[in-house]
Amino acid sequence: MIAWVGDNVISSLGFTTDENYRAVLAGQSGARLHDGMGLPEPFMASLIDRERLNDEFGGGDGYTPLEKAAILSVTRAAAGTGVDLSGERVLFFFSSTKGNVFLLDGDPATLDDRVYLWRPAALVSRHFNNPNDPVVISNACISGASAQVAARRALEAGACDHAVVVGAEMLSRFIISGFQSLKALSPEPCRPFDAARAGLNLGEAAATVIYKRAGEGEAGILLARGAVRNDANHISGPSRTGEGSFLALEAALDGISPDDVAFINAHGTATPYNDRMEAIALTRAGLAAVPVNSLKAHFGHTLGAAGVVESVISARALREGTILASKGYREQEPEYPLNVATRVAPTGKRYFVKMLSGFGGCNAALLYKKVGHGTGH
């Protein structure tokens, strides 16, 4: 098992984990209707305040917004942890689906090196004088979970002593037009698991979690297990049987009673097909009665960052013994009823599960455990 050392979230709702967590607890959403980016239609999205990003980053004109957000997030996650990020036993794991893809919008003749995903990843780790090549994961919308799974394995294998997992995604004309072409976006604030849900909202975020190998009797939050499984069904459509998601849940929860799970933080994008697929997978896995929530109505779908953002916020909730409400949800879908959390509630249970699914039929389930009374901070 591996233990939580530090974390940060930078999003439309704030620039520290605490600011984000309090905004979620208060039911706030970063989603706004935006015009711009050269798109023909307005779009609902949760964007990071660029002015504030520049102010808080301070200088750094040579960095793109994605790189600034990632560097700032790692800086804040590491602050006060005592982890020396320049150490050779520290390994960076960078997750993003599209990195600096906005650069393709410029002159096609001059291809900037920074559209390659490894480039912003290397700029981030080298900013901290880390001597190792970062591990770069681009596994669609489960990237942030795959990165944590990879970090856990590297720590277990002794390949490093600390793992810095950073997920970052910034929106661009490229990403938004693509989701528009798939008719996946809702023009209204999204409503995960609601019977009348009509699509997703996109969001921007950079988030970090730093892990170490868990010692004997380690207190705090542990990443107990993580599994990734494929639907083997369709390159973009969710499985009608929830096969990959079900298999991932089964692997992550092997031997754990559903009664011990405080809550499930689902992917919950609020597209009709995704949420139904997850409801089927949860039902098949015997987890339909466990409280379930989605954070997408607060942050939007932050793509390659989602797995990290939502794990950090959910881990904070577990630490505080709290089940967060699933914003945007009003009415149960009759076919596969779930126990969707409609209000903030206390819990004394020790586990939570993070679910993610993505294009390419990939699905992830991560099992986190709270041990002792330590806060880990």
Partner 1 sequence: MGLVIRKYSYINDRVASVDGRAIPVPAGEEKFLTALYRARRVDYPRFFKMDALSKLGFLASELIFEGDASRFTPRDHVAILCFNRSSSLESDAAYQATIRHGEEYFPSPSLFVYTLPNIVTAEIAIRNRLHGETAFYVLERFDPRALVGRVGEAFQDAATRAVLVAWVESFRDSREVFMMLVEKNDTIFDLPFSVESIVELLNRGRNG
Partner 2 sequence: MDELILNLKREIIEVLNLEEVKPEEIEDDAPLFGEGLGLDSIDALELIVLMEKNYGIKLSDPAQGRELFKSIRVMATYIRDNRKK
Catalytic residues: 141, 267, 301
Q: How far is the CB of 241 from partner 2 (least distance, A)?
A: 17
Is residue 249 within the footprint of partner 1 (CB under 8 A)? no
Work out whether 247 is an interface residue with partner 1 (CB under 8 A): yes
Least separation in angstroms between CB 302 and partner 1? 15
The CB-of-135 to partner 1 minimum distance in angstroms stands at: 7
Residue identified by tokens 């909730």 is 317
> Among 71, 70, 65, 138, which residue's Cα sits nearest to residue 98?
138
User: At closest approach, how far in Å is the CB of 236 from partner 2?
Assistant: 6
Q: How are beta strands 362-371 and 351-358 bridged, if at all?
A: antiparallel
User: 280: which residues sit within 8 A by CB, 6+ positions away?
Assistant: 240, 241, 242, 246, 336
Q: What are the two backbone dihedrals, phi and then psi, of residue 306, each rounded to the nearest 5 degrees?
A: -55, -40
Q: Pick one of 18, 55, 88, 105: the residue that binds partner 1 (CB under 8 A).
A: 105
Q: Report phi then psi at 165, rounded to 5.
A: -100, 115
Residues 219-238 that bind partner 1 (CB under 8 A): 227-236
DSSP secondary structure string for all residues of 298-329 = HH-B-GGGHHHHHHHHHHHHHHTTEEPP-TT-
Encode 6-42: b = buried (16+ Cβ within 10 Å), e = exposed: bbbbbbbbbbbbeebbebbbeebbbbeeeeebeeeee
Q: Which does 230 bind (CB under 5 to 8 A by kind): partner 2, partner 1, none?
A: partner 1
Map residues 176-195 to x or -, x wherever contact with partner 2 holds by CB under 8 A: -----xxx------------
Instruction: Report the alpha-carbon distance of residue 204 to residue 168 in Å, rounded.
Output: 8
Residue 38 binds which entry of partner 1, partner 2, none, with Cβ cut-offs from 5 to 8 Å by kind? partner 1
The site that binds partner 2 (CB under 8 A) totals a number of residues, namely 7
Stretches 65-73, 177-185, 309-317, 318-326: which one binds partner 1 (CB under 8 A)?
177-185
Q: What angle do CA 338, 339, 345 make, to 5 degrees?
A: 160
Tell which one of 180, 283, 339, 347 touches partner 1 (CB under 8 A). 180
Of 187, 237, 286, 337, the one binding partner 2 (CB under 8 A) is: 237
**What is the residue whose two structure tokens read 């609902």?**
44
Interaction between residue 154 and partner 1 (CB under 8 A): yes
Which residues of this chain interact with partner 1, rule CB under 8 A?
Answer: 38, 40, 97-99, 101, 104-105, 108, 115-119, 121-122, 133, 135-140, 146, 150, 153-154, 156-157, 159, 173-174, 177-178, 180-182, 227-236, 243-244, 247, 251, 358-362
Which residues of this chain interact with partner 2, rule CB under 8 A?
Answer: 181-183, 234-237
